[in-house]
Amino acid sequence: MNLSSSSVGATQIITVEEARIDAAVAIQFKDRMREVSDGGPARIVLNLRNVDFIDSSGLGAIVAAMKQLEDGRTLDLCALTPNVDKVFRLTRMDTIFGIFDSVDDAVAQSNS
Amino acid sequence: MCDSIPRSLLSLSFQSTSDAVRKTLGRIAQAVADAGQNPTATNNIELAMAEALNNVVEHSFRDRENGQILLSIMLLEDSFRISIRHDGTPMPGLRLPAGKPATIGNEIANLPEGGFGWFLIRSLIIDATYSHRENWNELVLRFSRHPAR
């Protein structure tokens, strides 16, 4: 499970460098998220641009990644492809996360 | 004639592991796309099948590593009929789950990390039937055909 990380101001951008977040990698994803986000800034934006398939195990892993953050830290999402957006909408999880069209939009939000 | 309906699009068996499920999902998506299903509807089938097959791996074969799952896809006039057969642990109560949406609530600490599977399946199918005979379970899911234009 490849994740890459960069910082823009006080926001950490974590980009999923895989096409799928599914049952086969859900636990790895959650563990890698913990490693990559450890000690970082309060706000994390998860960039899902490269992900074209997610199942409920992958969705659960993203929820778990948010729940494992220390108090005061947030996890927003950006660049959902249509297949990923569909899973968030069907399960109503789109009401829980801040969701932005792009990294730029997500970063602009934290500056405003 | 090879384009006759009904016809078999895919028939295979695979091990009850999440890696084998992932590989099989690729075969399923390819088979229905080759039969003319549009990309969005193909993803709907792949998603519902991911949920159904992961449930088999995680629940029916929780205590067995060498479980085998049989899968077949039939192309019908207006639908795809996909059958999943296995001899693992049956569905609780020998019934399909209702698939109620998981309760989300407001507390991040209490957000559900699972329990979405059958809700997603029921959102994406025409119907589902389950039978259990002589130690064999069969789940049949039907999906509407949505040809690409």
User: Quick one: pLDDT band at residue B10, thresholds 50, 70, 90?
Assistant: very high
pLDDT above 70: percentage of residues in chain B: 99
pLDDT score at A49: 98
Give the pLDDT of residue B107. Answer: 83
CA angle A69, A72, A74 (to 5 degrees): 60
Nearest CA in chain A to B18: A24
Domain ranges of chain B: 7-144
Model confidence at A85, in pLDDT bands (50, 70, 90)? Answer: very high
Report whether pLDDT(B2) > 70: no
Chain A residues within an 8 Å CB radius of B15 = none
ipTM of model over 0.90: yes
pLDDT at position B82: 98
Q: Looking at beta carbons, which residues of chain A come within 8 Å of B21?
A: 23-24
Helix (H) or strand (E) holding B133: strand B127-133
Q: Do A55 and B47 form a contact (C-beta atoms < 8 A)?
A: yes
Closest Cβ–Cβ partner in A60, A66, A82 for B114: A60
Please give the residue that has the higher pLDDT: either A68 or B1: A68
Domain B7-144, CATH number (from 3.30.70.2860, 3.30.565.10, 3.50.50.60, 3.40.50.2300): 3.30.565.10
- Set out the domains of chain A in order of their start, with CATH numbers: 3-107 (3.30.750.24)
Question: Considering only CB atoms, which chain A residues are within 8 Å of B125?
Answer: none
Residue A29 phi/psi, 5-degree rounding, is -60, -50
Q: Cα distance from B1 to chain A (closest Cα, Å)?
A: 35
Tens digit of each residue's pLDDT (9 = 90 or more) over B51-108: 999 999 999 999 887 899 999 999 999 999 999 999 999 999 999 998 888 888 878 8
